[in-house]
Amino acid sequence: MDEVVRISGLSKRFGDVAAVDGIDLVVRAGERVALLGPNGAGKTTTLLMLLGVIAPDDGWIEVLGHRLPRGRSAAMSQVGFAAGYLPLPERLNVDEYLGFYGQLYGLADPDIESALETFGVAHLAGARGTDLSSGQRTLVGIVKAILHGPPLLVLDEPTASLDPDVALRVRTGLQALCRDKSTTLLVTSHNMVEVERLCDRVVFVAAGRVVADGSPADVAASFGGADLESVFLRLAATDAPEHPHERSQETERPAG
């Protein structure tokens, strides 16, 4: 299947605030896509709707050919999700924790050792949650997300507040996973240098709308910047940024 994710006209309001305001997005098989934007831009709300955790007010979502919410169970069985802020059980060791999720995924014999080795943490198999640093917990959380070999991996701020060496291990493991397993990656991050190294496509969101979509170099150039950080800073400085291509004439929002 070429299209892994298709989002059309997605909107979500919380009271008077339009957290997501008519987002269109297509993610194709094998792409490594970063969903970027300032705090409050609508990134996490979009991911939560993509995962079926919250329902949109308008629009629709298809994941791996399954329309949400009716097809959520079938879709989510093929999706892995991890976030740097999700806790791990403190009384279980890593093997037990991953084995439990392997059962939930319906795996008769999950290859826990291989999954841990992908991110260089095989030595943590016997460690308890209380023994892990925040970086190690993040790595184990990502291992949990890839345990069932999902074709789509969704990561919300996976390296937030991590030391550079641990963030490098996350990035190296993700690059290997995408290369060897053809995994499609959808990730949010505030680390623009990391995004430029990891992703082949970036989608900038501001005020709940897609304002730029393309390769890191192309998006930076379209805003007259040298890199993604300059684009991020520009978008963070305004509530309703305007893409340069929209100044002279009204255009449709990017659809991926």
Across the chain, mean pLDDT equals 89
The domains of the chain are located at 3-246
| Report field, pTM of the whole predicted structure over 0.75 | yes
pLDDT at 166: 85
Evaluate whether the domain defined by 3-246 bears CATH number 3.40.50.300.
Answer: yes
Percent of the chain scoring above 90 in pLDDT = 70
Contacts of 128 (CB under 8 A, 6+ apart): 90, 91, 92, 93, 94
Residue 251 has pLDDT above 70, yes or no: no
pLDDT of residue 35: 96
2 compared with 84, residue with greater pLDDT:
2
Dist CA 16 CA 4 (whole Å):
32
Chain centroid to CA 85: 13
pLDDT digits 0-9 by tens, 7-44? 999 999 999 999 999 999 999 999 999 999 998 899 99
What pLDDT is attached to residue 54? 95
What distance in Å separates the CA atoms of residue 214 and residue 204, rounded to the nearest whole number?
9
Does pLDDT of 78 surpass 90? yes
Q: Is the pLDDT of residue 80 over 60?
A: yes
Residues 6+ apart with CB under 8 A from 57: 11, 12, 13
Each residue's pLDDT tens digit, 144-192: 999 999 999 999 988 887 888 888 888 999 999 999 999 999 999 988 9
pLDDT value of residue 7: 98
Residue located via tokens 């291992």: 143
Q: Residue with structure tokens 């291990």? A: 169
Q: What is the pLDDT of residue 220?
A: 93
Residue 1 has pLDDT above 70, yes or no: no
Both tokens of residue 103?
């059962």
| Tokens encoding 109 | 């014999």
Average pLDDT over every residue of 237-251:
44
